[in-house]
Amino acid sequence: MKAAQLKYENAPRPSVVLGCLLPAPWLGAAAGLLVAFGPADGLPFRFSPTVLAAVHLLALGMLVPVMVGALFQMMPVVAGVRIRGTAGLAPLVALIAGSTALGLAGGFLTGRPLGFRVAIMLGAPFLSLVGLALLWAGTRVAAIDATTRTLACIGAALIATVATGAALAGALGGQWQVSLGPTLQLHVAVGLVGWLATLVAGVATTVVPMFWQTRRLPASLDRFLPWGIWLLLLGYCGVVIDLPQLAGAGAVPLLLFLAALAVVGLQGVLRARRRHDPGWRLWVAACLSALGAVALSLAAPALPGAVAYPWWIGTAVLVGCGVLPVTAMIGKIVPFLIWLRLRRRLPLPARIPAMQAMISPGQQRWQANLLLLAYVLLLALPLAPRWLALPGGALFAAANVWLGLQLLRAVRCFRRTMIAGGLPPRHPEA
């Protein structure tokens, strides 16, 4: 199986990626605080205002900027393609995604249309522009493995997620009418599977073997990424539109394919050589979360309505398959990006700190443990919502604050090293 050659000389300035990443954990912390201290009425019902607000703070405010920032890094390094307009887009990604998430959260919590209208006017045009920039760059990607094939077309998934989300926000804001049920199903499917799951899976086929020393995805499965996911997703979306009463059955092939990916991924992670690494356990938990979410989704038609399986599925996908692997990748990508920039820009004999000095492995390990504990408490929340919402949400917020502080520490290390090397940190080459 042929893999793309990494082109480190194309890596963007750290400010391009860090501008997307640095604010993201604080929005994750806001989602945790909302669960902990927000209105408890309706927890853990998926359509309660608190749940809807927290979901969008997490998915849009935290995960989208991190994933877009990672794409700004991986497009040039992995695919050898520079994204036009990155310098102008990157500083606004976290700001506009976070503001849009806050607008939606305000709309859900207050029941007023203003927040939804702000989200449409602010977030939809900008995030669509980001998707178009990614899609345009993707036309020049030589798609030779799962990661590069994913990078080539992932902009389309972002655009589809934004379009369906804007349709829902406009309906909730009173600007137009849509069929809420099918549109919501499409938005959830495209956002969680077409965007989140596809991007995490596609990126993991390169990042996990590189940082955790695992085997690459078998060629028999690699060749089906991302098209296997997207074709099955399109089939499911067609069923939702034409035969909504059969949507559950239409999702079965897609769920089985995702389960196969999770099983193979779990086998690879369990055999990793760097199992002592702080981020390793987060990938194990992510694969187990994917299997749990698939199992619950397949069993949902037979489960009684009183069972809180929508909460478990959503938590497993957003936190287990989203926040956990994203946290693991941030802990590797940020120090590596900074180290690479320092190595390229500082003249010899300047001393370059090791990546472990930028973000301590010990700190990463404790932060990962705290995040996993919060995850367990959030999964258990339906058992006693009023008792578990506070510790689960508060610990999740604390874990994200800890992650944010680790990123700030890495940036401080970068600035100090640049100054010690005789190059001001605001130098154009920094």
Query: In the predicted model, what is the mean pLDDT of residues 363-380?
Result: 96
Q: Per residue in 269-288, pLDDT tens?
A: 999 998 898 899 999 999 99
Query: pLDDT value at position 429?
Result: 44
Maximum C-alpha span of the chain: 68
pLDDT band at 221 (very low <50, low <70, confident <90, very high): confident
Tell me the one-letter amino acid at 200: V
Query: pLDDT value at position 321?
Result: 96
Angle among Cα 39, 40, 42 to the nearest 5 degrees reads: 110
DSSP letters spanning 210-250: HHH--PPPPHHHHTTTTHHHHHHHHHHHHHHHH-GGGHHHH
The owner of tokens 């037979």 is 302
* CB-CB neighbours of 410 under 10 Å: 26
Model pTM above 0.85: yes
User: 332: which residues sit within 8 A by CB, 6+ positions away?
Assistant: 207, 211, 279
The percent of residues in the chain predicted with pLDDT above 90, rounded, is 62
Q: Which domains does the chain have, with CATH numbers?
A: 11-420 (1.20.210.10)
Query: In the predicted model, what is the mean pLDDT of residues 327-340?
Result: 88
Query: pLDDT value at position 42?
Result: 82
Task: Of 75, 78, 126, 79, give the one whose Cα is nearest residue 99.
Answer: 126
d(CA 332, CA 336): 6
Query: If you ran DSSP here, which 8-state letter would residue 316 be given?
Result: I
The pLDDT of residue 345 is above 80 = no
The pLDDT of residue 179 is above 80 = yes
CA 367, 295, 45, 58 dihedral sign is: positive
The pLDDT of residue 57 is above 90 = yes
The pLDDT of residue 227 is above 60 = yes
The pLDDT of residue 72 is above 50 = yes
Contact 425, 415 (CB under 8 A): yes
Query: In the predicted model, what is the mean pLDDT of residues 311-331?
Result: 94
The pLDDT of residue 37 is above 90 = yes
User: 286: which residues sit within 8 A by CB, 6+ positions away?
Assistant: 200, 320, 321, 324, 325, 328
d(CA 306, CA 72): 43
- Out of 167-171, 305-309, 351-355, give the one with best mean pLDDT: 167-171
The percent of residues in the chain predicted with pLDDT above 70, rounded, is 95
Task: Of 357, 356, 352, 355, give the one whose Cα is nearest residue 423.
Answer: 352
Query: In the predicted model, what is the mean pLDDT of residues 57-68?
Result: 96
